[in-house]
Amino acid sequence: MSKIIKPKGYKAALDLRQTEQGIKLIKDFFQQNLATELRLRRVTAPLFVLKGLGINDDLNGVERAVTFPIKDLGDREAEVVHSLAKWKRLTLAEYQVEPGYGIYTDMNAIRADEELDNLHSLYVDQWDWEAVMKEGERNIDFLKSVVKRIYSAILRTEFLACETYPQLKPFLPQDIHFVHSEELIQMYPDMSAKEREDAICKKYGAVFIMGIGGKLSDGKKHDGRAPDYDDWTTPNSDGYLGLNGDILIWYPILGRSVELSSMGIRVDKEALLRQLALEGKEDRKELYFHKRLLDGTLPQSIGGGIGQSRLCMVMLHKAHVGEIQASIWPEEQRKECKEAGMNLI
């Protein structure tokens, strides 16, 4: 059964030339706005890291990293990053970034286990960012303030895209709604996590869903999250667990919710030990990154990733991420998309 959503009567609003110009316009404008909002400095990032140091993001813990041997290191293995969640925190310490400031970078990854559809590709490109927190900022109010600043940058980007290409009409609301994943269960008890996301996003247009990674009252997780970067077990001021979450919007072209960013306040020593124990990953305490965190030589930080191709996709009103980026798709899917008006690059 096809996983592709084919909007009825879909026709791309922009041709190939306009699309390529639009991609550059959005990427240049958004990253400058993001850097200004969060006081971030651009840094250069790796495409791969050495295996066995605990630096790579292991996502949900089941995705395989693309690995290869390095001849000049005695065939020691490197792995293509899944994201730079842990690397960024090491970099904040190395660059001695002061509280209230941070870094951002272009993150390029290969996720070989991704299920390919309108939103998911083998190739992932994100703006990965990380900022050093000040004393007293380890709370839900600070997290919400950062989310609002990111959403403001998204809104300004939508305005620019629609001004540049008048055939595009804005659809995002002026404000983003906050809700905890446990609240969603109470609101929609008979729905799956994905159905709950669609329902809340359709209602509000833009939502930040908090508390992702831990088990909820139904015994299930809203979604998976590695135990060693986001803090999803510390109680917040709303009485729920979790200082992290996802930014999602309702995307009318596909008639579904779309996640644009995953982010959160990062684990401190106590949260790391608690979450490693919960997930049965206590052996990670012996890895380089985790030792640094437990030794207190890494700063307290907040960070996340914002999908570049996905943001361009929604800003330019495309129905498939393959209309934005060059990747590999099953031939049958490529043919199916072409017949539905989606011309994959």
What digits encode the pLDDT tens for the residues 5-35?
A: 999 999 999 999 999 999 999 999 999 999 9
Mean pLDDT value across residues 233-252: 95
Specify whether the CB–CB gap between 316 and 19 falls below 8 A: yes
The answer to whether residue 41 is catalytic is no
Region class of 255: left (phi > 0), else alpha (psi between -120 and 50), else beta? left
If we measure between CA atoms, which residue out of 67, 86, 87, 84 comes closest to residue 76? Answer: 67
Which pLDDT band holds residue 2 (cuts at 50, 70, 90)? low
What digits encode the pLDDT tens for the residues 227-241?
A: 999 999 999 988 999
What digits encode the pLDDT tens for the residues 260-291?
A: 999 999 999 999 999 999 999 999 999 999 99
**Rounded distance, CA 42 to CA 97, Å?**
12
The answer to whether residue 141 is catalytic is no
> Could you say which of 89, 111, 138, 196 is catalytic?
111
pLDDT value for 61? 58
pLDDT value for 82? 80
pLDDT value for 325? 94
Distances (CA, A) of 256 to 138, 143, 153, 215: 32, 25, 22, 24
Higher pLDDT, 81 or 221: 221
> Could you say which of 121, 126, 181, 300 is catalytic?
126
Helix 140-164 × helix 308-315 angle, to 10°: 50
One-letter identity of residue 254: L
If we measure between CA atoms, which residue out of 228, 224, 227, 268 comes closest to residue 246? Answer: 224
What digits encode the pLDDT tens for the residues 85-102?
A: 889 999 999 999 999 999
> Could you say which of 181, 257, 262, 333 is catalytic?
262
Q: Which two tokens stand for residue 115?
A: 């299920």
Q: Which two tokens stand for residue 194?
A: 């994905």
pLDDT value for 159? 98
Q: Say what the pTM is.
A: 0.93
How many Cβ atoms are within 10 Å of 286's Cβ, its own excluded? 9
Higher pLDDT, 132 or 49: 132
The answer to whether residue 117 is catalytic is no
pLDDT value for 85? 85
One-letter identity of residue 262: S
DSSP alpha helices (H): ranges in the chain? 16-38, 85-94, 140-164, 181-187, 193-204, 269-278, 288-294, 308-315, 331-339
Tell me the average pLDDT of the chain: 94
The answer to whether residue 72 is catalytic is no
1, pLDDT greater than 80 = no
**Rounded distance, CA 208 to CA 219, Å?**
22
58, pLDDT greater than 90 = no
pLDDT value for 59? 61
The answer to whether residue 111 is catalytic is yes
163, pLDDT greater than 80 = yes
**Rounded distance, CA 231 to CA 243, Å?**
6
Instruction: Kindly state the percentage of the chain with pLDDT values over 70.
Output: 98
Between β-strands 177-180 and 123-132, what pairing exists: parallel, antiparallel or unpaired?
Answer: unpaired
What digits encode the pLDDT tens for the residues 289-311?
A: 999 999 999 999 999 999 999 99
Buried b (16+ CB within 10 A) or exposed e, 306-339: bbbbbbbbbbbbbbbbbbbbebebeeebeeebee
Q: What is the DSSP letter of 110?
A: E
Mean pLDDT value across residues 198-225: 95
Specify whether the CB–CB gap between 229 and 263 falls below 8 A: no
255, pLDDT greater than 90 = yes
**Rounded distance, CA 255 to CA 185, Å?**
21
The answer to whether residue 246 is catalytic is yes
**Rounded distance, CA 303 to CA 260, Å?**
14
> Could you say which of 37, 223, 238, 259 is catalytic?
259
pLDDT value for 51? 87
